[in-house]
Amino acid sequence: METPRFFHHAEGASIFRPAGELKLVEVLEMVTGAISYARESGVRRLLVVLTGVRGMQPPSATVSYRYIRDWARASGGMVRVAVVTPAEMTDPGRFGVTVATNAGMEADIFVDEKEARSGWWGRKPGVAFSGALWNIMKYEQPP
């Protein structure tokens, strides 16, 4: 498989950093391809940095659900994914993290690349994500 555009290896992980004027669906499909490539190449940690993309609108819950499920399938449960995105693209309820977790993919979302690199990469695989854990606790507690 050919290395996807914007994909490179660095410091024990791989980074996918698309840039420029791109539509949301283009970016989401590119991320799916990057995750597939990472899995097929034996990469176990992928940092997806979307802060250099212009022209994207925040996805609807339906679009998020569909593509994050695609990302989970592409990861095959083998690739941990951290996504760094502008704050305006991030759902404060962390819906996407919950979808990823429920689909069997270890993932989290950040608005700061430094935080993603320092906190998330150091976490042991299989450790619950704060957003997903909060969403699970929120719904399991009696009213």
Q: Within its chain, how far is the Cα of 111 from the centroid?
A: 12
Alpha-carbon distance 83 to 46, whole Å?
8
Q: Residues 85-91: what's their mean pLDDT?
A: 89
Indicate the number of domains in the chain. 1
CATH value at residue 92? 3.30.750.24
Assess if residue 107 is contained within a domain: yes
Assess if residue 52 is contained within a domain: yes
Assess if residue 17 is contained within a domain: yes
Assess if residue 2 is contained within a domain: no
pLDDT in tens, 109-130: 999 998 888 877 666 555 444 4
Assess if residue 19 is contained within a domain: yes
Whole-number pLDDT of residue 138 = 35
Assess if residue 1 is contained within a domain: no
pLDDT in tens, 9-67: 876 679 999 999 999 999 999 999 999 999 999 999 999 999 999 988 899 999 999 99
Provide the residue range defining the domain that includes 121: 7-140
Assess if residue 131 is contained within a domain: yes
Assess if residue 106 is contained within a domain: yes
Asked whether 82 and 108 are in contact (CB, 8 A), the reply is yes
